Chains A and B, each alone.
Chain A
Amino acid sequence: DQQVKQNSPSLSVQEGRISILNCDYTNSMFDYFLWYKKYPAEGPTFLISISSIKDKNEDGRFTVFLNKSAKHLSLHIVPSQPGDSAVYFCAASAGSGNTGKLIFGQGTTLQVKP
């Protein structure tokens, strides 16, 4: 039972263009969503988050959009840079933003070509 799904295993974009990573969830109890980035041989690093009371959160080049009715969120990276090449995980939590116990998606490998 995969409660958080990232249906695209990989994505390749040109440097300077927009990267859009998608994530779907099934559990309506989820109220906090996070994106983590992971480089090989390292642990996940927090990137950006959004509470279910919002539909958009922006931090520099990174913007997360939440569509609660569709149970869908997306991460936009503009402009994409080669250093953004990594695996991106979407994660969700339930219960007043408990950000420690997380349910992760399978990840999407982003490659940004120079």
Chain B
Amino acid sequence: DTGVSQNPRHKITKRGQNVTFRCDPISEHNRLYWYRQTLGQGPEFLTYFQNEAQLEKSRLLSDRFSAERPKGSFSTLEIQRTEQGDSAMYLCASSLGAQGLAFFGQGTRLTVV
């Protein structure tokens, strides 16, 4: 399977704990995006990378959130001191350049209890 891969698929954590998600994009794609989707809403843009450079961060990305793409390949999204409001589906997408179509992974569903 050469699509966008996200791990884990599901994560249940206690409030206050840190969590980290991983995204493996399509191999030749240089752009990688993170989105968050809550119930009844569409995906909301969080941040994106071009190669290893993080070029834009949404105001939705509070100081507790950090994303990295150290070698321009896979990316991680870490949430520190999780809150119940962080419960959502976290989606990763990748594209080849700005005009390339974005392909989405299956997402990581986070539940904070």
Contact = CB atoms under 8 A, between A and B. Distances in A.
Contacts of A104: 42-44
Interface string A22-44: 00000000000000100001111
B106 A102 contact: no
B106 A106 contact: no
A100 B98 contact: yes
B35 to A, nearest CB: 8
Contacts, number: 65
B65 interface: no
With most chain A CB atoms within 10 A of its CB, the pick from B43, B45, B100, B104 is B43
B41 A100 contact: no
B42 to A, nearest CB: 3
Interface residues of A, number: 26
Determine the main DSSP class of A at the interface with B. loop
B101 A99 contact: yes
Contact of B91 (A43, A49, A98, A100): A43
A101 B45 CA distance: 7
Contact of A100 (B4, B43, B93): B93
Interface of A: 4, 6, 9, 36, 41-46, 49, 89, 91, 95-107
Interface of B: 4, 6, 31, 33, 40-45, 48, 56, 91, 93, 95, 98-107
